[in-house]
Amino acid sequence: MAEANCVKPFTMKHFSRSGCTLKVPMSLFRENRERLVSRLQTNSEVSAEGTFVVLQGGEEVPFNDTDVNWPFRQESFFQWCFAVEEPGCYGALDLAAGTSILFVPRLPPEYAIWEGRLRTLEEFKERYEVDEAHYTDEIAPVLKEKRAHLLLTLSGKNSDSGLCAREAVFDGIAEFEVNNSILYPEICECRVIKSPEEIKVLRYVCKISSDAHKVVMRTMRPGMMEYQGESTFSHYVYHTGGCRHVSYTCICGSGHNSSILHYGHAGSPNDKVIEDGDICLFDMGGNYCGYAADITCTFPISGKFTEDQKLIYNAVLKARDAVIAAAKPGVAWTDMHLLANRVVLASLKEGGLLVGDVEDMIKAGLNEVFQPHGLGHLLGLDVHDVGGYLPNHPERSKEPGLRKLRTARILLAGMVLTIEPGCYFVDCLLDAALENPDQAKFLVAEELKRFRGFGGVRIEDDVLITETGVENLTDVPRTVEEIEKEMER
């Protein structure tokens, strides 16, 4: 514990928060840069000589018009390449030499009074294992000195948000030829396949997040507020795991709220009292060194499942188990989604809520009524990681269910994804299905009545695709029996 109490030298070549948290070596990010350079060197559109990748890091964002800033999180592509914790930086990669340059802001002397000692360029160079360090007001002169003529900048649309990546701009950039179309798909492809060192970080953040979910299960009681589950989770991942941030706004839905896919937003900030008999769907993930976990646990607040809760929970668990057993390199993610849909619909039929042929149900789009989201998504430096829909890969389907998928790719070893089947009872979707003759014929309306207000169940695991199948990075109670034992009171 002595290490946790001492001041860490700035020039340490790893990221960590204490002696008890994972040490992430800066070599991880050097290897990422090397992977990107190697990939670009094989691109026929690029001549390595005189070509440089230029990335712009994140900036501090003020809270409205005040002098207070939002907590800083590094821009994800910049994090992947440089892992720099400070805002306002730039980075460059020389494709011919394979070398890296970090550009940091030239700060005024008074910075030392408010923010701490000014670091030297040599310290930045050593800290982040780059070949050179300069100030951001020197970008153009440095690149000119190195005879740069073509700059590859980042510009591309994120297929989940629809927003575009931030393209680097700096004083003097007009003096160079700039190409903003080559880099984005190439760096995204690099991020899709995780390196062994990246996988170590993801294992760590998934373990810390799994442990936090177990603490939440053991802590929650009827009469508590949903946000107390969020608070318990956030405290654990930071206090024990060094995760200063969570990867997304925590979803802590109980009762009917568990059917709201992105509950917990500003208009519904996990502010309901959890009542005895409620099912709780808690979707939360820590973030460590920029890498995200994304885990959902569903459990009864009473600690014991009712028969109806068991029916829906086990339907989703069977779907999760079927996908984990079938997923491996060469398998289409769209097929995994439909597999999960078939298992859930078959279980609902067995439970008396549906009648008819499961394949006919899917043709009618009934799968999207009970699971109005995709099976899962790529995971990494973003919770919905980049690479879902890139050139030369399957495009987004227009079919019910499949159209909601965040990727339709063929699985490859080294991918990390979430597997998150669900089953929800959403009034507006049920009402529309009952009014649609193509779907209503499968619904047992009288049986479905008692599930109005039930909410929903989601089981979400973070998994690594291996050469032979799946490694589940998530470690939480999953069966009814395991959950009830974890919650014994």
Q: What are the pLDDT digits (tens) for 213-224?
A: 999 999 999 999
What's the rounded mean pLDDT across residues 180-203? 98
Whole-angstrom CA distances from 136 to 124, 172, 278, 393 are: 13, 11, 55, 37
Percentage, residues of the chain above pLDDT 70: 98
Among candidate residues 30, 35, 373, 478, the one labeled active-site is 373
DSSP 247: S
User: In what helix (H) or strand (E) does residue 445 lie, and over which residues does it extend?
Assistant: helix 445-449
377 included as an active-site residue: yes
Residues 6+ positions from 181 with CB-CB distance below 8 Å? 155
Among candidate residues 65, 67, 110, 307, the one labeled active-site is 67
Q: What length is written for the chain?
A: 489
Residues 6+ positions from 17 with CB-CB distance below 8 Å? 242, 244
Q: What's the chain's average pLDDT?
A: 96
* Cα–Cα dist 307/298, whole Å: 15
Q: Could you tell me the domains of the chain?
A: 21-192 (3.40.350.10), 196-488 (3.90.230.10)
What's the rounded mean pLDDT across residues 130-157? 97
What's the rounded mean pLDDT across residues 34-56? 97
294 included as an active-site residue: yes
pLDDT at site 5? 42
Among candidate residues 384, 406, 409, 478, the one labeled active-site is 384
Please list the alpha-helical segments (H only) found in 12-60: 27-41
pLDDT at site 8? 60
Phi, psi at 369, each rounded to 5°:
-70, -40
131 included as an active-site residue: no
Residue 130 has pLDDT above 60, yes or no: yes
384 included as an active-site residue: yes
pLDDT at site 378? 98
Whole-prediction pTM: 0.96
239 included as an active-site residue: no
Among candidate residues 460, 461, 462, 478, the one labeled active-site is 460
Among candidate residues 377, 406, 409, 478, the one labeled active-site is 377
Is the dihedral angle over the CA atoms 457, 461, 462, 463 positive or is it negative? Answer: negative
What's the rounded mean pLDDT across residues 165-179? 97
pLDDT at site 19? 78
Distance of CA 6 to the CA centre of its chain: 32
Identify which has the larger pLDDT, 402 or 18: 402
* Cα–Cα dist 371/361, whole Å: 13
245 included as an active-site residue: no
- Tell me: the pLDDT tens digits for 416-452? 999 999 999 999 999 999 999 999 999 999 999 999 9
What's the rounded mean pLDDT across residues 349-371? 98
Spatial contact of 431 and 439, defined as CB atoms under 8 Å apart? no
Which pLDDT band, with edges at 50, 70 and 90, does 7 fall under? very low
Which pLDDT band, with edges at 50, 70 and 90, does 468 fall under? very high
424 included as an active-site residue: yes
Among candidate residues 294, 385, 461, 462, the one labeled active-site is 294
147 included as an active-site residue: no
Q: Which residues pair with 69 in a beta bridge?
A: 62
Among candidate residues 129, 230, 283, 461, the one labeled active-site is 283
DSSP 446: H
256 included as an active-site residue: no
213 included as an active-site residue: no
Among candidate residues 420, 461, 462, 478, the one labeled active-site is 420
149 included as an active-site residue: no
